[in-house]
Structure 1
Amino acid sequence: MTRPVVAVVDAKTSGNVGTIARAMKNFGFRDLYLTDPPDLSRDSEAYGFAGQAREDVLPDAEVVDFDSLVENFHTVGFTAITNEDARKHTRWPYTTPEELRETLGEVDAPTCLVFGREAVGLHNEELERLDQVASIPASAEYPVMNLGQAATIALYELQELARDDTQLPEKERERAAEAEIERYYDHVDDFLDDIDYPEEKQAKTMRLVRRVLGRAHPTGREIATLHGILRRTENRLGDDATDN
């Protein structure tokens, strides 16, 4: 799959461009295109905000015109404000980043994610020329985000289209052997007897315990720890009974 590129149109603040470059580096995106960019010299805010992206993403950014983006890429423009129905086509239909991740993941095509200005975003005339419109779900009271913030959220949602791997280990979880889990259920059942738990409630309680652990997929160590808690409680109850 071709990794999407990112374009920023007419940003007014170099710090936002640096923030976007950093988010690109975080989530595996590499190629940054800029239309009418602000000052991006080495002593600008952009390099202060870019983190390690100051080493490649930001200095390698290419300045292009809007026509070049439209002519060379499948373009997806991001906007906070959408139309409510299909009577106006400029900002409708739109897709969320989550939906976009699914659809773009099925197509191998040169794709460009286009973000607009800090104050007004992409103009309608620009959105009309783009292939798709996307919008991040947000509070209806205040859906408009800072440019760098919006791009960071979108790139996070779309990172599976760009990054090769992450710093996180594989989320493999080895469930305890069923025999171990069953022994724990027996232990709980015996414990309820020992504390004179109401007999009419015991069967229901055991079903609840089974369902909770069934959803949790406990490891062997976790089951051993739960056994240990019951044993310490039993020992303490035994000590109290002896004292009395």
Structure 2
Amino acid sequence: MKNFGFEDLKLVDPPDLSRDSEAYGFAGQAREDILPNADEVTLDHLAANYHTVALTATTNEDSRKHVRFPFSTPAELSERLATVDAPTCLVFGREDVGLTNEELAQLDEICAIPASEEYPSLNLGQAATITLYELRNLALDENQLPDVELERADEPIVERLNDQFGEFLEAIDHPVEKRAKTGRLFRRLVGRAHPTDREARTLLGIFRRASAHLNFYGDADDAAAKNADAKDGAADAAASDAEN
């Protein structure tokens, strides 16, 4: 991080960071500023307050699988983030197992470093170095950054949009077993689109009204069906009495 001009370090469930720890020993000159100023947070906090980019070596080359696909390379990510005004957090996983599918499902975008198919995995330090090198133009010289072309909606609005889409799926009775996957597909789509505040609020309002509309008429239909069943039952009983 210090090599390439980044300084805001967030740690989820970190190891011991005391002066006698292994982490402190490896931090180099960053132990004087970046490491002691790091914030300990949760993954839920990052997902709720930042546009999140998950870094993973394992990807799916299949557009039907939206846990690890689609993904950007660090160079593609750098080019896109240079045009977006949004608080963004790069999320690296554990040294040994990376990020789980459940954790990836919470995050907005996937980024992967192109490497040999025979051995695509890199250790955490290598992955961070390559990624931050590609993103160095976002931190080292602000005067050379391109003009911001897009003002992305605040993260709470984007999260409300994702949540409202989940309620919409429930309102249309989307198959329960498909809702999580469909929700991830929508999150990935919104994550890549970087909607403006107006766009996000407009979609949020549409999904909210659609859900309310479907629930209202769904309740009305249920009531009508129950009334029809009751009338049919009464008619059957009357017919039976007449026969008797």
Regarding TM over 0.5, the answer is yes
Shift of 1:44: 1.0
Where does residue 35 of structure 1 map in the other structure?
12
Shift of 1:40: 0.8
Aligned AA (2:110): V
State the distance in 2 between where 1:106 and 1:80 align: 25
State the distance in 2 between where 1:52 and 1:34 align: 18
Could you list the runs of 5+ residues in structure 1 that have no partner in the other structure?
A: 1-23, 166-244
Where does residue 101 of structure 1 map in the other structure?
78
- Aligned pair count? 142
State the distance in 2 between where 1:74 and 1:63 align: 18
Shift of 1:50: 1.3
Establish whether residue 57 from structure 1 lines up as the match of residue 39 from structure 2. Answer: no
Deviation string for 1:152-189 (max 9, x for gaps)?
11111111111138xxxxxxxxxxxxxxxxxxxxxxxx
More helix by share: 2
Aligned AA (1:100): L
Q: TM-score, normalised by structure 1?
A: 0.57
Where 2:11 maps in the other structure, the secondary structure is strand
State the distance in 1 between where 2:24 and 2:41 align: 20
Q: TM-score, normalised by structure 2?
A: 0.57
Alignment of 1:77-156 (within 5 A): 77-156=54-133
Aligned AA (1:147): L
State the distance in 2 between where 1:72 and 1:162 align: 20
4+ residue stretches of structure 1 with deviation over 6 A? none
- Structure (1 or 2) with the larger CA radius of gyration: 1
Where 2:54 maps in the other structure, the secondary structure is strand
Aligned AA (1:97): P
State the distance in 2 between where 1:41 and 1:50 align: 11
Could you list the runs of 5+ residues in structure 2 that have no partner in the other structure?
A: 143-244
Where 2:52 maps in the other structure, the secondary structure is strand
State the distance in 2 between where 1:129 and 1:163 align: 29
Shift of 1:149: 1.2
Aligned AA (1:105): A
